[in-house]
Amino acid sequence: MSADGHDEALAEHLRRIERYMRGCTLLRFPRARSALRDELARVLDETLPEVVAGWVQHIGPAFGIAPAQWPNLSHDIELALQRWVRHIADPGDCDTYVYLRSHARRGFISKFPASRFLAGQITAFQLMGNAIRRRYADDEPRRAELLALFAQEFEERVLHITDFFVEAREEQLREQEATYRRSIDSAPAAIFKIDWDTGAVLSANFVAEQSLEFASDELRGMTTWDLHPPAERSAAIALWEETRSKGNANRDDLHHRTRRGTVIPIFINSGVIEYGEQRFIQQICVDMSDRQHLEDQLIQSEKMAAIGQLAAGIAHEIRNPLAIIMNALYDLAEIVDGNNPEVREDLRIAKEEMDRVQTIINSLLEFSRDSRAEIETVDINDLLRKTLLLMNKYLQNSDVRVLTELADIGPCTANQNALRQIFLNLITNAVQAMPHGGELVVRTSLGPDSRVRLEFSDTGIGIPPHQLNDIFNPFFTTKSPGQGTGLGLSVVHSVVRRYHGDIQVRSTPNVGTTFTIELPSGRPADEAILP
């Protein structure tokens, strides 16, 4: 097989090595097959077992190779040297170079530094040279000729493997860079590579380009503080300087400004990255708009729940006396003199207005009922992870450590947004129960009848026993006046029951509280779950 036919890059490599050897006057013997080459190959092949044994004895301890691995190592080295010996006899054997390239990338020598590789090659050269000297101790001219050819082949071998070794390292670096780039581009957050000295953007991933509405070449050259509103410029510079001095810094009170001027709330994790001889700052910026939306959604949900409770209460209180009034009007209509049209008209108007009031009451009652949310298949573990990620900064600032014990529980039948409300409410409730910090354990498991079980356990102040029966009642709260609506746990309870679930609580004062939720597992049924 010709070099050109096998691989053009390999052919160029061979030409480069040959030019170098000619330039250094290292190419003293013709590269065509000859009787001298055949003789050298035969001698080396006969002495290989002895050479390999000596090589392993010398190199094994120096390389830190366990004696139990020596037999396999001896076998691999002997095969490699046999291939080289065949190439000495036939320099046109291009498969040898293919082998050397593969060996440099994935073989034994690729696992060691270049200095150790060279030390091993020199040891092999000395052992094989000694074997030639012993074999031709009585034939000085032939010995010198064989040793000269052997030295040329050794020098060529070292050049080839060294070149392939460097090529492999360069390719490995390119692959690492490509992998890093792919991971950065696939990340769900905006990521910026920032110049250490100037704070300029060196590169940005796809999410950053999309969220800020700038092309990559537009972002390059902008400073990290150019990405923020003017009022936050000093804070952004301070974040960059803190990262340079401490190695890592975080901010959750900054915003990005898009090309159109839209302001996006973000959480920034800024850290120093060293890659080879390069040092730069990497900023990971998480869009907190969803978190703000969820918090607003939760507040709105609690407000709507309060309105619903009030509407239901008012409607029921009015309905009973309204029924009495309606009956009285009907009785009056029966006994009123038909010759008094004015009275009869007044009664008619009164009855119409009472009907209108009845319609309003029915509307209030309808409003107070839970709306029917879409039933879907929900990955509980994934939803928990995302919710905890959204609340990570809040938990950190509250000095609350979160432990997760998530079992393989399969999907759950419910509504994702509704469950997210539950998780946000219970986590917030746990944090508020630990004003001086503590630990929150979130567990998932399979309960009875393969129902999905969730547990939220805190190390907070706990709930007194006499209050446990009331905590799910609307407007009941243990907080100080003005500190809570008393609807959070009521909303949790109503949502859980809406999806045919169950919620229980156990608590010990000054020890902690555990809320346990069980929900139906599997996929949604064909029929809707009624509110």
The neighbouring-strand residues paired with 251 are: 268
Q: How far, in whole angstroms, is CA 101 from its chain's centroid?
A: 35
d(CA 110, CA 171): 13
May I ask the CATH architecture of the domain 187-287?
2-Layer Sandwich (3.30)
pTM of the model: 0.37
Q: Using H for helix, E for strand and C for coil, what is the string for 217-265?
A: HHHCCCEHHHHCCHHHHHHHHHHHHHHHHHCEEEEEEEEEECCCCCEEE
Q: In the chain, what are the domain boundaries?
A: 3-183, 187-287, 291-368, 376-519
Tokens of 101: 């390239």
State the pLDDT at residue 487: 55
Sign of CA dihedral 69, 75, 80, 84: positive
The neighbouring-strand residues paired with 336 are: none
May I ask the CATH architecture of the domain 3-183?
Orthogonal Bundle (1.10)
Are the folds of 3-183 and 376-519 the same? no
State the pLDDT at residue 484: 47
d(CA 323, CA 489): 35
Tokens of 415: 């509504």
d(CA 488, CA 298): 9
For the domain made up of 376-519, give the CATH fold.
Heat Shock Protein 90 (3.30.565)
Tokens of 214: 């700038």
Q: Which residues contact 133 (CB under 8 A, 6 or more apart)?
A: 143, 147
d(CA 148, CA 513): 85
The neighbouring-strand residues paired with 446 are: 452
State the pLDDT at residue 367: 45
CB 131 within 8 A of CB 85: no
Sign of CA dihedral 243, 246, 250, 251: negative
Instruction: Tell me if residue 150 falls in helix, strand or coil.
Output: helix
- Give the pLDDT of the chain (531 residues) as one tens digit per residue: 444 445 677 777 777 777 877 777 778 888 888 999 999 999 998 988 888 888 887 777 766 777 787 788 788 778 888 888 888 888 877 777 777 777 666 655 556 666 666 777 788 888 888 989 998 999 999 999 999 998 888 888 777 777 777 777 677 767 766 766 676 666 678 889 899 999 999 988 888 888 898 988 888 889 989 999 999 999 999 999 999 999 889 888 899 999 888 888 888 989 898 866 778 898 988 887 766 555 555 554 555 555 556 666 666 667 667 777 777 777 777 776 666 777 777 777 877 777 767 766 665 554 455 544 567 888 989 999 988 887 888 899 899 999 999 998 888 878 887 888 788 889 988 998 999 999 999 999 988 777 889 999 999 999 888 888 777 765 556 655 444 445 567 777 777 877 788 888 999 999 999 999 998 887 544 433 333
State the pLDDT at residue 171: 73
Q: How far apart are the first and last CA of the chain?
A: 77
Angle of helix 70-89 versus helix 95-106 axis, rounded to 10? 150
Q: Tell me which long-range contacts 455-459 makes (C-beta under 8 A, separation of at least 24).
A: 455/514, 455/515, 455/516, 455/517, 456/426, 456/427, 456/430, 456/514, 456/515, 457/512, 457/513, 457/514, 458/430, 458/433, 458/434, 458/512, 458/513, 458/514, 459/434, 459/511, 459/512
State the pLDDT at residue 391: 84
Query: Which CATH number describes the domain made up of 291-368?
Result: 1.10.287.130
CB 78 within 8 A of CB 64: no
CB 312 within 8 A of CB 318: no
* Rounded alpha-carbon distances, angstroms, from residue 501 to 91, 413, 527: 78, 10, 17
State the pLDDT at residue 111: 61
Closest CA to 172 of 108, 104, 114, 116: 104
For residues 400, 406, 410, 416, the Cα torsion angle rounded to the nearest 10 degrees is: 0
Q: How large is the C-alpha radius of gyration of the chain?
A: 40
State the pLDDT at residue 456: 95
Q: How buried is residue 33: exposed, middle or buried, by Cβ count under 10 Å (0-12/13-18/19+)?
A: middle
